[in-house]
A = this chain, B = another copy of it.
């Protein structure tokens, strides 16, 4: 298994009057990456979570460095690696690169919640197993 990647082009809507990505738009791109990862790798879409399952994975905390600006028209590759699974939390590392140049590097903690984003609750066993598997594959790959 390889690192999860998600390509996103820098569109007009992402850019500010300085002609570079306005940083709140990066978080939309990052959320799209997380959304696609859950769908493609964990097997549960945000449509299922926010529809029949009535669960959510809000971001509880994050730290990010914007290491170089991104310009209109550039193709970015977002990379997501899960690093630690807690009882009801999940740590992720996300970066974005354009060719050889890194544009941002982030660590984030998501939490699993039910019925309207109140208190966090434990991950259900089926999701826990799939996330664990993703983390272990990464660890082995890096070993």
Contacts and interface: CB of A to CB of B under 8 A. Distances in A.
Given A35-B12, A73-B46, A64 B61 contact: yes
At the interface, is chain A mostly helix, strand, loop or mixed? mixed
- Count of this chain's copies in the oligomeric assembly: 4
Interface in A71-113: 71-74
B69 A23 contact: no
Interface of A: 11-13, 15-20, 22-25, 27-28, 31-32, 35, 45-48, 50-51, 56, 58-66, 69, 71-74, 116-118
A51 B23 contact: no
B24 A31 contact: yes
A136 B31 CA distance: 38
A63 B35 CA distance: 21
A15 B16 contact: yes
Which of A11, A12, A31, A32 has the most chain B CB atoms closer than 10 A to its own CB?
Answer: A12
A19 B50 contact: yes
Given A24-B27, A50-B18, A32 B13 contact: yes
A62 B67 CA distance: 12
